[in-house]
Amino acid sequence: MKANRIHNFNPGPAALPLSVLEEIQENFLDFKGSGMSITEISHRSKQFDAVINDAMARTKRLLNLDDRFQVLFIQGGASMQFCMIPMNFLADDKSADYVDTGTWSTKAVKEAQIQDKPIKVVASSADKNYAYIPRDIRFNEEAAFVHLTSNNTIKGTQWSNFPDTGAVPILCDMSSDIMSRPLDCNKFGLIYAGAQKNAGPAGVCLVIIRDDMLERVPENVPTMLKYSTYAAKNSMYNTPPCFAIYTVDLVLKWLEETIGGLDKMAALNRDKADLLYDLIDGSDFYRATAQNDSRSLMNVTFRLPDENLEQQFVQQALENGLGGLKGHRSVGGCRASIYNAASLESVKALTDFMMSFENKNG
């Protein structure tokens, strides 16, 4: 029986490639001839070794990572990374620079402050309700690191280019735009990404860490909160989230073998975003919330003339097979999350509906 699937614009957990879901379905009861589901095999088995090592290798190839970088899989989501980073990399005699571009970076700042770690918020876009990415930031040359959030899912802003921080490593939350575009990873000491938006299902955080950052990890950090624990044991110090890592591996395979790499994925993502933003900009009915030069290619946030129309829009969109368009509860409005797995056809279906809704209600 064919599934009745909608166009999925959920912000996370979000759409996965249909071919990935079909492969999971086909092999779910008998993984690689083992007679067991991927959810049943031992994480110490040769079968799972092959899965996790393939996911690490594909991550390195897609991002063109050299031997200085290790790929880790950690539970706890990006939110646990907010506390792990200052624990691992911020000694009492050093300070770190944070850039506050909205909800998730604000939470990262809070987690460092809870630990009484010496940090400085060197730039913020709070003055305009986080509608832009700060420019011309003066970073501290002696900082232990600079912390950024590459994409703001709630406010719809994104770093199109990362700042020059000199010799200071950037530690970056890329939960909502990892694998959406090529990266020059040389300026990053650590990249982390909750998989559930753009790389897989909920339950695992992808962490890319440079070897020199591992050398900074102190011994007095709890075992499961130390990056060196995961690096030393191939992310299998304890039982990892096997199914989530397996799904990430399949998504990476799709990116590499079906899409053809991150350059092609970035072009597709640009086409999707342009289609939506062009409609919004050409309308007197819809209004984008992010400043033009800071707009996200992953999360398109917009408002309608009033909240009643927004509620009607979200409800009628769902009735027409378009789901996940309600804005975050903290800001309201509407939001289309157009991550890698959201197809161009889905975005065209959305823009067709938006034009129809405007014609009836504008």
Question: So which residues are the catalytic ones?
Answer: 104, 173, 197
Residue position matching structure tokens 């309608």:
304
Of the candidates 308, 331, 348, 357, the one whose C-alpha atom is nearest the C-alpha of residue 11 is 331
Phi, psi of 106 (to 5 degrees): -65, -40
Secondary structure (DSSP) of 163-192: ---TTSPEEEE-TTTTTSS---GGGEEEEE
**Largest distance between two CA atoms of the chain:** 64
What 3-state DSSP class applies to 237?
coil
CA distance 105 to 133: 12
Tokens of 210: 């440079």
Alpha-carbon dihedral 139, 140, 144, 149, rounded to 10 degrees: -20
Can you give the length of the chain in residues? 362
Residue position matching structure tokens 């959030």:
149
In this structure, what DSSP letter does residue 328 have? P
Of the candidates 339, 362, 41, 91, the one whose C-alpha atom is nearest the C-alpha of residue 193 is 339
In the chain, DSSP assigns E strands to 7-8, 69-74, 96-100, 119-124, 146-149, 151-152, 157-158, 170-173, 188-194, 205-210, 287-288, 299-303, 322-323, 334-337
C-alpha of 221 from chain center: 26
Of the candidates 267, 257, 276, the one whose C-alpha atom is nearest the C-alpha of residue 182 is 267
Of the candidates 219, 151, 218, the one whose C-alpha atom is nearest the C-alpha of residue 181 is 151
205 forms beta bridges with: 74, 194
How many C-beta neighbours within 10 Å does residue 332 have? 14
